[in-house]
A and B are shown apart, each in its own frame.
Chain A
Amino acid sequence: MDIVKLTLNKIPDLYIEAENITPDHFAGKTAQQIGELHLHLGNTTAKISDYFSVEGKGGQTAADTKIIVAGDTTKVKYIGMKMTAGEIEVQGNTDMYTAAWMSGGKIHVKGNVDSFCAIGMTGGEFIVDGNAKNYLAASYRGDWRGMQGGKVTVKGNAGSDTATFMNGGTIDIGGNVDVHLGTHAEGGKIIVRGNAKGRVGGQMVKGDIFVLGQVERMMPSYIYKADEEVELDGKKQIFQVWIGDMGERHAKRKGEIIYGKIYIPTEIATEKAYADVVEKKKKLSDKQLDQVKEAFRDQEPTVQQVRTYIYDTFDVDMKPMQVSRVISGLKR
């Protein structure tokens, strides 16, 4: 496999749209030819070589090409968009649409990714070592086809609207997810190893959602069906199975109605776990407060930024008003 190494050596003023950074576009090209490929910044066009140094060359086919992206690529969108084969390794963070509409190959991001990553994905593998923001593996606006195949693994947390309109493939999230997980799902499998913030499986008609932590509030339109023994990660466990969304119309197969299913481990899904809001800690200790101050020293963070940081770091769900007071404290 031939390797092309791109190193970002100039931070752009605006965000770079880099849909040409895929093994499909790099295959069969020399470093110079790769450097000539286009990037877009707002209404202007640049070359890859204007922002990246290029080393190596593409393989004969996309499948023979591996791209390593180094440098601070937080402001680079569309990496690996519509890629069909090969491999991409991103050593830092990426912006929106990474792995969007991907149909084959592998993308490994070692940092965090922004929103709309892996949307409309039909195949391949997408791994994120950090966190993913909103609309992970969802559908594009107006489209009713979200993720249809392949595998997405996020080792950290995921934002809201994850897997909207999903109808195939597997998503494995190591941490927590925000609201609206699997909304409108019509198939596929979602595993959340942390907690889900609520509205799990809203308007879902088919598919499986495993939440190994707690569901903050189960939708009233889901009904408890039974405890079932299900195999997950190669071992059998007993889960409470909830079916729904009862507000939706459901198809029949062989005379039997198909429902979406939510699986919660029985040891966590006690009788009250679904109905009541999980009583999370609402306050920070002095030590935690110091850590927040340190993290946002000399910055002007928004309430949302601080609230997300506190939720991700300490698993404390503070109200915006409380967070505002923390921010006032930072200024003093």
Chain B
Amino acid sequence: MSKTITDVICPFCGTLCDDLSVVTDDEGKKILSVENACAIGAEKFLHASDHSHRVTRPRRLQEDGSFVDITYEEAIEYTAQMLANAKKPSMYGWSSTNCESQSVGHEIAELCGALVDNTAAVCHGTTLVAVQNVGIPSCTLGEVKNRADRIIFWGSNPAHGHPRHMSRYSIFPRGYFTGKGQKQRKIIVVDPRCTDTSSLADVHLQVEQGQDYELLQALRAAVRGQELTGDIIAGVPKEKVYEAAEMLKSGRFGVIFFGMGVTQSLGKDHNIDAAIMLTNDLNNYTKFSIIAMRGHYNVTGSGQVLGWQFGFPYSVDLSRGFARYNPGETGTIELLKRKEIDAMFVLGSDPGAHFPMQCVKEISKLPSVAIDPHITPTSAICKVHVPVAFVGVEVGGNCYRMDNVPIESRKVVEPPEGMMTDQQFLEGVLKRVKELKAN
């Protein structure tokens, strides 16, 4: 006999699909199949349930490069000592775990005078900087499904990055005021490359790589009916810019989805600043919103928790006992490059794969701990690797969707015997840090 668990949350991307059905064996230990998920989401569940390849106990890196198993207690002791004794430790990651664990981690950071940073540092951090400058007119994905008839994907390829986004919310679904689905919507894709998403577009603006800011400001001027200089604007013919501006103004409800193609290209936060202001301008003619295509399933949650605990969404420096925030100075990448931190704690992320090589080399030289269910490039270079249960598969918890809607994830199977969750491990570290600081 098997049993089916419905309404399961997918812990893969920021779309946080909440309609999955997972079939498990009778004992609830093995996942047999996953329904409604995209290929990546389904694989995440099936991969987690196969314990044969999992590391189930913490490991310490030895001088010859091999790992030796240690107990969870030893791993907690090492982590607590490392954080309590460091002058400027960095606690990075937090995007592939639940909000409850993030909250415990931040308490440790506050006690240790650490720096807390999440994966926004390498994706939508620039968005958060721009939002602080100019605010954000946004909405939920439900509103997009039910109302939006003008959709822009700017520097984003959901066909690959967020596979069910288009079918659940943005292009294909039939909503309350969008009964004809795709036929009722106009799609604009802004991307230097032809992608699977651009193949669905009514207008594909093939912007010159790194010229998004120019095109955004030109669109803003075109929306106002202003004159533009030059016949080709950032690789796009001027007439096409005016045509796109008219198409946006003529809709009833529009939304801009933007991804890392625009947040991490030349200009960074200025690009998003201009995109938000374009949305703002369009609200003089119709209703428009803008939503960031967040990557990790709970990177939005990390920003939310940091926001309500310290007032800033990422790159928070607590070394002086109060929160300071200045990406460019307090970001983990900059600090590693400048050799400004002396201990590295990573949870729910893989900087070994995402950071510049110079930073990865620096991590390998520092006292470091990686908390991750998988063996990753980060766990391979950190001094201690602590495997934990998969959040959203083996343990539940609160997560935030890309439009800042909190959704409770569900536990569907048991973790391998004796394995700790993120939260249990962090609570152990917190208890030990309190003892060390009291002494």
Residues of A whose CB lies within 8 Å of any CB of B are 13-15, 17, 40-44, 96, 115-116, 134-135, 140-142, 144, 179-180, 183-184, 199, 202-203, 217-224, 245-248, 274-275, 300, 302
By a CB distance below 8 angstroms, the chain A residues around B221 are: 220-221, 245-247
B309 interfacial by beta-carbon distance below 8 Å: no
Assembled-state Cα–Cα distance A115/B278 (Å): 29
Please report the number of residue pairs spanning A and B whose Cβ atoms sit closer than 8 angstroms. 118
Assembled-state Cα–Cα distance A69/B132 (Å): 36
By a CB distance below 8 angstroms, the chain A residues around B213 are: 199, 202
B202 interfacial by beta-carbon distance below 8 Å: no
With most chain B CB atoms within 10 A of its CB, the pick from A115, A142, A247 is: A247
Closest Cβ of chain B to A254, distance in Å, is: 22
Residues of B whose CB lies within 8 Å of any CB of A are 86-88, 112-114, 129, 132-133, 213-214, 216-221, 224, 226-230, 233-234, 266-267, 270, 273-274, 277, 319-321, 325-329, 337-338, 340-342, 356, 358
By a CB distance below 8 angstroms, the chain A residues around B340 are: 14-15
Assembled-state Cα–Cα distance A199/B266 (Å): 10
Nearest A residue to B356, CB-CB: A302
A221–B88 CB distance below 8 A: no
Known: A43-B112, A116-B329, A221-B228. A144 touches B270 (CB 8 A): no
By a CB distance below 8 angstroms, the chain B residues around A248 are: 220, 277
Residue from A42, A96, A203, A220 within 8 A of B233 (CB atoms): A220
Nearest A residue to B318, CB-CB: A43
A246–B267 CB distance below 8 A: no
A43–B319 CB distance below 8 A: yes
B88–A14 CB distance below 8 A: yes
Known: A43-B113, A220-B228, A223-B227. A116 touches B326 (CB 8 A): yes
With most chain B CB atoms within 10 A of its CB, the pick from A217, A248, A275 is: A248
With most chain A CB atoms within 10 A of its CB, the pick from B86, B87, B234 is: B87
Nearest B residue to A45, CB-CB: B320
Closest Cβ of chain B to A70, distance in Å, is: 23
Assembled-state Cα–Cα distance A141/B132 (Å): 8
With most chain A CB atoms within 10 A of its CB, the pick from B217, B228, B338 is: B217
3 residue pairs, one from A and one from B, having the closest CB atoms = A43-B113, A42-B88, A247-B220
Assembled-state Cα–Cα distance A40/B320 (Å): 8
From DSSP, what is the main secondary structure of chain B's interface residues?
loop
From DSSP, what is the main secondary structure of chain A's interface residues?
loop
A220–B214 CB distance below 8 A: yes
A15–B229 CB distance below 8 A: no
A246–B133 CB distance below 8 A: no
B273–A203 CB distance below 8 A: yes
Residue from B270, B319, B320 within 8 A of A199 (CB atoms): B270
By a CB distance below 8 angstroms, the chain A residues around B227 are: 223, 246
Assembled-state Cα–Cα distance A2/B343 (Å): 43
Assembled-state Cα–Cα distance A44/B320 (Å): 8
B87–A41 CB distance below 8 A: yes
Known: A15-B340, A115-B328, A116-B326. A247 touches B113 (CB 8 A): no
By a CB distance below 8 angstroms, the chain B residues around A43 are: 87-88, 112-114, 319-321
Residue from B86, B112, B328, B358 within 8 A of A134 (CB atoms): B328
Closest Cβ of chain A to B380, distance in Å, is: 21
Residue from A15, A224, A246 within 8 A of B224 (CB atoms): A246
Assembled-state Cα–Cα distance A144/B133 (Å): 7
Nearest B residue to A275, CB-CB: B230
By a CB distance below 8 angstroms, the chain A residues around B220 are: 221, 247-248
Known: A116-B329, A199-B214, A202-B217. A222 touches B320 (CB 8 A): no
Assembled-state Cα–Cα distance A42/B327 (Å): 17
Residue from A44, A140, A300 within 8 A of B326 (CB atoms): A140
Nearest B residue to A43, CB-CB: B113
Assembled-state Cα–Cα distance A142/B132 (Å): 5
Assembled-state Cα–Cα distance A302/B356 (Å): 10
The 12 sampled A-B contact pairs (Cβ below 8 Å) are A14-B340, A43-B321, A142-B133, A179-B266, A179-B267, A184-B273, A219-B217, A221-B229, A247-B219, A247-B277, A248-B220, A300-B358
Closest Cβ of chain B to A184, distance in Å, is: 8
Assembled-state Cα–Cα distance A13/B88 (Å): 11
